[in-house]
Structure 1
Amino acid sequence: MGSTSDSSIKVLNKEDEEALIGQVEIWEQMCSFTDSVALKSAVELRIADIINRYDHPIPLSKIVKNIENAPSPDISLLQRIMRVLVRRKIFSAEKSESNGETLFGLTRASKWILLDGTNMTLAPMLLLENHPLHLSPCHYVSDIIREGTKNGTAFFRCHGHEQFEMTGLDPEYNKLFNEGMVCTARIVSQAVISGYKDGFNKIQTLVDVGGGIGGSLSEIVRAYPHIKAINFDLPHVIATAPEYDGITHVGGDMFVSIPNADAVYMKWILHDWSDEHCIKILKNCRKAIPEKTGKVIIVDHILEPEGTELFSNTGFAFDMMLLAHNAGGKERTEENWKWLFKETGFPHYNIIKIKALPSIIEAFPI
């Protein structure tokens, strides 16, 4: 019988050990994209949903039988995907006491990639972030570091259009993009409503700038039905927005003007834009709200260079995605936010941590 041992590692001198560990670290980073490949495959095949329908762990044979549009499924290939996802704790694996088969079950992680019968899912966002349109610009990052973005972002160099132009030109991408935004809006909105407590109570009118098709705003209005709300976004986005009670959809350009309201709400908007663009947006926000009682409610991540909190690493990953996708978009530290507020007439701000990737940042004109 064969055997393996890593005892040779234990007798390495310190210099050789450090070199070996460094090599391992590079290999792991080099291949880390394969985790997303496996996870995307599981979502597209609806593996989590298949297991969930049985309400208990099931063998690979049952999973394969329930995969839709699979005329000749290869169970050996699926087994390799599941092996990776079990190792990453996306699914669980246990031996059947009756026949020794491996039974695959859900974990706390795989419950977030369900698509059937749940609104609280990250599956659409996962499909968006792993779509070729989103991944391909990453191959142009070194180019924009060398040359800057005067000739376009990495996204533009790859596709010939900037990201937000693409949503207006490609209906399929626009749908994928909106579905990704809607699913995260539900998750973040729930955390905002729970964590903001009395923040919305005194607001009579609220405008959601860059509100997409209104999913995030509808959650707020449902929790605070006294609010008269405006969902404000580009005309081609508003054109696909469904009707919601208490919400008026308005098409326009946030760089030109913003509808007047007691407060402005922006979820994951400012991180898409450069400081220069953010200054224009925030100045328009200041014009739209009352001088003495108005406020801007920003829901965005606060990057902490030495952070060790639950979402700290995800914040850095988002910053890398913004580097590839947007014209100057970036995640910001608290000092970055403070500087923006100072430049745009918001001398006071308040940060509220919530149970989500972003935080709430209140900015006040006095």
Structure 2
Amino acid sequence: MALTEAKVLQDGQTKLWKHTFSFAVSMALKCAVDLRVADIINSHGVPISLSQIAAKIDSPSPNIPNLERIMRLLVRKEIFSAHQRPNSEETLYGLTASSRWFLHDSELSLAPFISLQNSEWLMAPWYRLAQFVKESVPGGSTGFSKCYGSEIFDFASKNHEFNKLFNAGMESTATVMVDAILTGYKDGFSSIGSLVDVGGGNGHMISKIVKAHPHIKGINFDLPHVIAAAPKHKGVANVGGNIFEAIPKADAIFMQRVLASFNDEDSIKVLKNCLKAIPKETGKVVIIDPLLDLENEGPFDEMIAALDLSMMMLCKGGQERTKLEWQKILEASGFLLNRVIKIPAVLTIVEAYPA
């Protein structure tokens, strides 16, 4: 075998090993979040030793050797940094730009999202992935429903613990994205008198929009069991209902990570209800979702491709969409795509007006 051919095969094997054990990184990351390792380090203000980390872990007898092995992997993945204490063999662990994103007490924290995505509830459906290639049943079930006997939103309405975890995870991503959205769509919000946040959860996003644009009358619209747990926000009315039946009337409709949960047929039904809720001449719909790009290699493109699979497993007909796919379902709903606004985040702003 030629040297170059052997090198190619070895590189292929290396990449395969890496992908096979990539789950270990996710689990180690979840472990660090659960143990609040980043918060412990941050509370000291400087890099600290394993024994100092272990002393603050909520356990009477933490296993320091096991912690060291977990930290070793996370340092290699640049989640944490490692430094040698001067004149000592002891290693000190510090934060990096990545670990600062899962500090629990930070306003911009992805800790709840990491806990949600790596929970047993959302990991188990992935074991059904091959079935989605073998089976071709129109309107079939999801990996989630195969595990739990009901679709994810129905399950959340009956399981308080999961509902709390799900809402916290969604809120954390909305919080991280809100500044990029407010900046990227500043001119769009300025012309709106009233705005409905469809699938707004606990109202965090719409409250931020209203705070930045006090002239807007905000409506947080979601399923009744979600609204029942939503806090009150100044300038925002909480309204429960079903997006497949009717949407509260307003100048504009805002939807973040909503239509990715549905197939084209259901998305068109939702968009047609949006069309009924807004003024024919001046109304608009603002969709905030990842944009699936099959050609470019942007910083989030690989993750969006993975998100597409996640939506397939968790939501019946769930999918991320390309610009052309958005254009098609918008036109089928009575809208015209006006513009696509790229922002420095995993999400993209899609704006459309009544045709």
Give yes or no for TM over 0.5.
Answer: yes
CA displacement at 1:145 relative to structure 2: 2.0
In structure 2, the partner of 1:27 is 17
Structure 2 matches for 1:75-114, cutoff 5 A? Answer: 75-114=64-103
Quote the Cα distance in structure 2 between the aligned partners of 1:128 and 1:330: 19
The answer on 1:350 being equivalent to 2:332 is: no
Matched, 1:59 2:49: yes
How many pairs were matched up? 354
Aligned to 2:118: 130
Deviation per residue, 1:299-347 (Å, 9 max, x gap): 0111111221111111011111111101011010111111111111112
Question: For the aligned residues, what is the CA RMSD?
Answer: 1.2
Deviates further, 55-64 or 303-312 = 303-312
Query: CA contact under 8 A between 2:337 and 2:350: conserved in structure 1?
Result: no
**Are the aligned partners of 1:141 and 1:323 in contact in 2 as well (CA < 8 Å)?**
no
| Equivalent residue number for residue 298 of structure 1 | 287
Aligned to 2:157: 168
1:48 maps to 2:61: no
Contact 1:262 1:289 in 2 (8 A): yes
Distance 1:16 1:101 in 2: 40
1: CA distance, partners of 2:273 / 2:180: 27
Alignment correspondent of 1:240 = 229
Match of 2:3 in 1: 13
| 8 Å Cα contact 2:291/2:347 also seen in 1 | yes
The reply to whether residue 37 of structure 1 matches residue 31 of structure 2 is no
Counterpart residue type for residue 130 of structure 1:
N
Per the normalisation by structure 2, the TM-score is 0.97
Q: Percent identity?
A: 45
1:137–1:155 Cα contact (<8 Å) kept: yes
Q: Secondary structure at the match of 2:197?
A: strand
Q: CA deviation at 1:142?
A: 1.1
State the 1:14 CA deviation.
2.6
Cα displacement string for residues 201-250 of structure 1 (whole angstroms, at most 9, x for unaligned residues): 11111001111111111111111111111111100000000011111111
How far did residue 12 of structure 1 move?
Answer: 5.0
Assess, with a 3 A threshold, how the Cα gap between structure 1 residues 344 and 186 changes in structure 2: closer, same or farther. same
Matches within 5 A, 1:143-222: 143-149=131-137, 150-222=139-211
| Partner amino acid, structure 1, of 2:129 | V
Q: Say whether the 8 Å CA contact 2:336–2:353 is kept in structure 1.
A: yes
Unpaired segments of 5 or more residues in structure 2? none
Q: Contact 1:298–1:362 at 8 Å: present in 2 too?
A: yes
Query: SS where residue 231 of structure 1 aligns?
Result: strand
Deviates more, 1:123-132 or 1:317-326: 317-326
1:19 CA drift (Å) = 1.9
- Any unmatched runs of 5+ in structure 1? 1-10
Deviations 1:150-200 (CA, angstroms, capped at 9, x unpaired):
441111111111111111010000000000011111111121011112211
Report the residue type matching 1:329 in the other structure.
G
Secondary structure of 1:362's counterpart equals strand
For residues 92-114 of structure 1, the C-alpha deviation after alignment (integer angstroms, 9 at most, x for no partner) is 01111142311100000000010
- 1:250 aligns to what? 239
Correspondence 1:320 to 2:309: yes
Q: 1:127-148 deviations in whole A, cap 9, x for unaligned?
A: 0000011000011121122113
What SS is found at the alignment partner of 1:352? strand
Alpha carbons of 1:270 and 1:243: their partners in 2 closer, same or farther (altered >3 Å)? same
Question: For the Cα contact (< 8 Å) 2:292–2:323, is it kept in 1?
Answer: yes
Separation of aligned partners in 1, 2:214 and 2:336: 31
Q: 1:148 to 1:163 in 2, by over 3 A?
A: farther
Secondary structure, in 3 states, of the residue corresponding to 1:230? strand
Residue matched to 2:107: 119
Deviates more, 1:74-83 or 1:99-108: 99-108
Q: Whole-Å Cα distance in 1 between the matches of residues 65 and 280 of structure 2?
A: 65
* Residue deviations 1:256-292 (CA, integer Å, cap 9, x gap): 1111100000001011110011000111111111111
Cα-to-partner distance string for 1:65-101 (whole Å, 9 max, x where unaligned): 1111x11111100000000000000000111114231
Which of 257, 263, 267 is the matching residue for 1:268?
257
Give the Cα–Cα distance (whole angstroms) in 2 for the partners of residues 12 and 130 of structure 1.
43
Deviation at 1:26, TM superposition (A): 1.4
SS across alignment from 1:347: strand
CA 1:334–1:319: 2 relative to 1, 3 Å: same
Q: Which amino acid aligns with 1:41?
A: C
Which stretch has the larger CA shift, 151-160 or 236-245? 151-160
CA distance in 2, matches of 1:263, 1:151: 33
1:256–1:284 contact (8 Å) kept in structure 2: yes
Which amino acid in the other structure matches residue 244 of structure 1?
H
